[in-house]
């Protein structure tokens, strides 16, 4: 079992090629309790491929992944999710015709069905409804609980995806571009929310919105052509000449 010193997530020398293309080239990084570790880099740098290897959607060619001190390199995606590895938000898991509340209830049910199987169905429903509404309240969607997810705005759907992830109580969140399409106000709210969320479980964040990254990240790793060219604090990364040249340019 992991203690405070053990990284929640640890990648060692991961490699993944597509033909001659090295999409992940000897990548090592850690995610520690309480932090947001942002992964940034230009289009095609290999960020999604790396996230896919962590979630279990893709298997690496070489290297090792440990989660809470346990080797998970060859486990499938479902098994990793059961261990508490939060899924990526780019794959939408929402059921469009179901209300926001029902989508969260499904996730709660998936997690709790074992412990609550002796409950009467009516009581079981109440537990699920109250649990779902509490989570919707946390993400600011309580007032939209009865709206089918297909009728929510884009920003609201992203928040609902986070609510679904929260319901699964992961031990670590893998967030793939959560700010995409959010608009300035929505992005600001999401930044505040993620700041609170990281105290519940650390976040590995792939994000192109540099304002959000600089506001949130405790550490950053910069990926270019499948390799990590720099890792460090926001300050260190912003001042790194190699990073400025390869990626940040004027936005630093």
Ligand X SMILES: Nc1ncnc2c1ncn2[C@@H]1O[C@H](COP(=O)(O)OP(=O)(O)OP(=O)(O)O)[C@@H](O)[C@H]1O
Contact positions vs ligand X (CB under 6 A): 18, 21, 23, 41, 43-49
From the list 159, 240, 225, the residue with the least C-alpha distance to 192 is: 159
Give the Cα separation of 5 and 25 in Å (integer): 27
- Tell the smallest beta-carbon distance from residue 76 to ligand X (Å): 18
Give 143: exposed, middle or buried? Use CB within 10 Å, 0-12, 13-18, 19+.
Answer: exposed
Residue ranges with strand state E in 45-199: 62-67, 70-71, 173-176
> In this complex, which beta carbon is closest to ligand X, that of residue 21 or of residue 91?
21
30, two tokens:
């850690």
- Tell the smallest beta-carbon distance from residue 180 to ligand X (Å): 10
Is the Cβ–Cβ distance between 160 and 100 less than 8 Å? Answer: yes
> In angstroms, how far apart are the furthest CA atoms of the chain?
63
Give the Cα separation of 125 and 191 in Å (integer): 32
> In this complex, which beta carbon is closest to ligand X, that of residue 87 or of residue 144?
87
If you count them, how many residues does the chain have?
252
> In this complex, which beta carbon is closest to ligand X, that of residue 162 or of residue 206?
206
- Tell the smallest beta-carbon distance from residue 190 to ligand X (Å): 19
> In this complex, which beta carbon is closest to ligand X, that of residue 90 or of residue 93?
90
- Tell the smallest beta-carbon distance from residue 104 to ligand X (Å): 28
> In this complex, which beta carbon is closest to ligand X, that of residue 141 or of residue 243?
243
- Tell the smallest beta-carbon distance from residue 71 to ligand X (Å): 23
Bridge partners (DSSP) listed for residue 193: none
145, two tokens:
């609980």
């Amino acid at each position: 079992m992991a203690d405070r010193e053990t990284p929640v997530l640890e990648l060692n020398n991961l490699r993944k090629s597509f033909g001659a293309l090295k999409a992940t080239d000897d990548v090592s990084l850690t995610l520690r309790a309480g932090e947001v570790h942002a992964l940034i880099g230009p289009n095609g740098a290999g960020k999604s491929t790396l996230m896919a290897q962590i979630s279990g959607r893709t298997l690496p060619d070489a290297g090792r992944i440990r989660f809470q001190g346990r080797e998970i390199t060859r486990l499938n995606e479902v098994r990793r999710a059961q261990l508490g590895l939060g899924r990526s938000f780019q794959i939408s898991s929402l059921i469009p015709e179901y209300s926001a509340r029902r989508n969260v209830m499904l996730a709660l049910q998936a997690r709790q069905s074992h412990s609550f199987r002796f409950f009467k169905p009516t009581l079981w429903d109440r537990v699920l409804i109250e649990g779902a509404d509490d989570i919707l309240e946390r993400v600011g969607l309580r007032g939209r609980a009865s709206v089918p997810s297909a009728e929510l705005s884009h920003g609201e759907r992203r928040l609902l995806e986070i609510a679904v992830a929260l319901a699964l109580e992961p031990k670590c969140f893998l967030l793939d571009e959560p700010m995409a399409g959010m608009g300035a106000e929505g992005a600001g709210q999401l930044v505040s929310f993620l700041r609170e969320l990281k105290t519940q479980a650390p976040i590995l964040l792939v994000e192109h919105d540099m304002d959000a990254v600089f506001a949130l990240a405790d550490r950053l790793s910069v990926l270019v052509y499948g390799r990590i060219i720099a890792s460090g604090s926001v300050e260190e990364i912003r001042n790194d000449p190699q990073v400025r040249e390869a990626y940040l340019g004027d936005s630093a």
